[in-house]
Homo-oligomer: A and B are copies of this chain.
Amino acid sequence: MNTRLWIGLVVLVTTAAAGADTPPGTELDGRFDALIQPTELSAWMRQLAAEPNHVGSKHDRANAEWILAQFKAWGWDAHIETFQVLYPTPIRESLTLLGAHPFKATLTEMPIPGDATSYRIRDALPAYVAYQGDGDVSAPLVYVNYGMQEDYRTLQRLGVSVRGRIVIARYGGGWRGLKPRLALEHGAVGCLIYSDPNDDGYAKGEVYPKGAERPATGIQRGSVADMTLYPGDPLTPGVAATESAHRLAVADAPTIQRIPTLPISYADARHFLESLGGRVVPTAWRGSLPITYHTGDESVRARLIVRSEWSLKPIYDVVAMMKGSTYPEQWVMRGNHHDGWVFGASDPLSGQVALLSEAKAFGALAAAGWRPKRTLVYLSWDGEEPMLLGSTEWVEAHADELRHKAVIYINTDSNARGLLRVSGSQAFQHLADEVAASVTDPETGVPVSARRRAALLLAGQEPGASDSDKDWGKVAATRAHSLPIAAMGSGSDYSPFIQHLGIAALDFEYAGEGAWEGVYHSSYDTWEHHSRHVDPGFAYDALLAKTVGHAVARIADAELPPQRFADFAEEVASYVAEVKTLADHRREAADVQAQALALDAYRLADDPTKTHGSPSPLQPVPYLEFAPLDNGASHLMRAARAFDAALSEHGESLSAQVRAQLFEALRTVDQLLAPEVGLPGRSWYKNLIDAPGRYTGYGAKTLPGVREAIEEERWADADRYAKLTGEVLDAYAMRLETATELVLGTVR
């Protein structure tokens, strides 16, 4: 599911080039790495991706059972855990351009000569997005660019309404599921989503099979359930979708979209777009079809039919454990989903085969006498694609146990040739650095950390680099600091861990060179495409296994806490500065806009043949009560620096017993970030530091209770969440102070 469209600073991780300050890989790293075989990963992917493996397919269940068998064969204590989730199975999709020159959309992906898998689509899902609204609508078409909030503001200025119409939006700009939701909010009755060749097709590079990019008939499936309210089964928010769970009626489930929605290819979309009249679109709205893009007017109508069968379906999570020798009740968790939209080679099987390879290697090490100190929990999720079903339901089912046992959850998903990207809990930046220094990049022969550092340095040199990029570029050149990792939004199975329970989480991915985006969620995401264009030789999928394996082993065997809290405190301080600047900028924008409206400036400056009227007035922005947030962030910074200093000074001299006490005191500290109250209007999301944005989807919003309140002009919420977030930071700081006292009390 994860698009991984990393906007802004591409945040990867590394530590130092080979040199005096390089932490060497451990002896265990070396033994582990010797067990990772790229040819095995290739063979496993080929088998798992041989047939369509979406939720409800035969091959999905067979894959779960095969994975279970492997874990067992490798010595793990494994079982399948099943949930019953609402899953709409498509029955009928139809899209027709009406009028004098009618055209019926093919909704068909043509197989690719030379890619045998792409022919095996008999049982595949059609053009389809999950949890759309069923319906049969005929209405005029309107092109809405990406269909995001700012696009509707632009339409208002152009004098174009979508009320009673079917919108056609291109993929990109924000998460897919926002497109039908925002369309409905603005009165539309249907929603088409297509892949424009500018964002996803020939403009980016050669199309498959010659290159990696999306062919003309490629269709991006996906989920449009309103993930920003809650993920998982739409009928069982907050509780596991067991046989006996209390369920909402389908009609009452708030995450299901209400209007028919259909994804189409650019081969189909062209027929609709080139027929549109109305206004010529603004420059930023142009795609790469060889046409003049227009908004559309009343004259061009289409008929859209979407019907599904709405019933419960079983999903199959594979859960495998290797008991810890010293702390069996402390769980180091690591997961990746196994369901795809069609064959799912890159997404998710490239990460799945890395996970399997790690599991086999740990099994072999265990057979040779090694045991992890803490329990390893390997999780092969089902139903991630429709809406993180397998992970969310499992987390909801085991919430109490997880609160007590969790150390961390480490996730992967799609993987490719390229540089390492890490996102998640920033107290683990230092660990991520160490891990990145322990693996060697196949293309350059340097530590993965060195490529990451080089990329960060150059990002600071790009024209238009932000001050933050430049600062990090300088840091990268000095090798003096843990490098930043990105805040987590959503789009993969870490979400229920970090955002619902506040369990520390990390996500690892190699990306940026081998491109799987061009076949994303299409029937062209095959073993053939992956092995030809995404990771030839499976070098980076094997590297992912080594990287994650090193992280898992380090945390499982750690004596001292692996966190460095100043890294986290600095991130939080930067978020606080951002939300304050955001309020100031919006205040200024509202003031200037009020002046402009008073002067009738929009009408006067506009070309009267091209625009129609002024924007909606912004509310004046009051001065907000940021003091609790400032105090909390400052408290956190002091406490974090004191702890890091104490650990650095005295950590190695602590007794084994105190080390264990210290680890335990900080094992659950991130759960303090996720108080029961949750975010306004979407209390499933409890983490007050990171959340998927209500209007960005996958994209993270940091300090979301405050930031989104400012963005949405909810001033009382902004004040309230500044206070709540400040309290959370205070509690976190106090936990660190207790831990510091434990260190210093011991050595005094």
Contacts and interface: CB of A to CB of B under 8 A. Distances in A.
Interface residues of A, number: 56
Contacts of A513: 607, 609-610
A601 interface: yes
Contact of A454 (B203, B290, B454, B605): B605
A651 to B, nearest CB: 31
Interface string A415-457: 0011100000000000000000000000110100011011101
A17 interface: yes
Interface string A470-512: 0001100100000000000000000000000000000000001
Nearest to A17: B599
A458 B601 contact: yes
Contacts of A451: 604-605
Copies of this chain, count: 2
Residue of A206, A280, A418, A610 most packed against chain B (CB within 10 A)? A280
A292 B206 contact: yes
Contact of A457 (B198, B292, B454, B595): B595
A592 B286 CA distance: 36
Contact of A605 (B211, B458, B477): B458
Contacts of A604: 444, 446, 450-451, 454-455
Residue of A293, A605, A609 most packed against chain B (CB within 10 A)? A605
A288 interface: yes
A390 interface: no
B457 A592 contact: yes
A653 interface: no
A202 interface: yes
A543 to B, nearest CB: 15
A56 interface: no
Contacts of A601: 453-455, 457-458
Interface string A561-602: 000000000000000000000000000010011011001111
Contact of A458 (B213, B288, B477, B602): B602
A596 B458 contact: yes
Nearest to A596: B457
A592 B444 contact: no
Residue of A289, A418, A454 most packed against chain B (CB within 10 A)? A454
B286 A203 contact: yes
Given A477-B592, A600-B454, A444 B608 contact: yes
Contact of A593 (B213, B444, B461): B461
Contacts of A589: 461
A493 B289 CA distance: 40
A41 B367 CA distance: 95
Interface string A1-29: 00000000000000001000000000000
A263 interface: no
Contacts of A461: 589, 592-593, 596
A209 interface: no
A460 B605 CA distance: 13
Nearest to A473: B592
A197 interface: yes
A291 B202 contact: yes
Nearest to A198: B286
A134 B205 CA distance: 36
Interface of A: 17, 197-198, 202-207, 211, 213, 280, 283, 286, 288-293, 417-419, 443-444, 446, 450-451, 453-455, 457-458, 460-461, 473-474, 477, 512-513, 589, 592-593, 595-596, 599-605, 607-610
Of all A-B residue pairs in the complex, the 4 with the closest CB atoms, nearest first, are: A454-B601, A454-B604, A454-B605, A290-B290
10 contacts: A202-B290, A207-B292, A213-B292, A451-B604, A453-B599, A453-B601, A457-B605, A458-B601, A458-B602, A461-B593
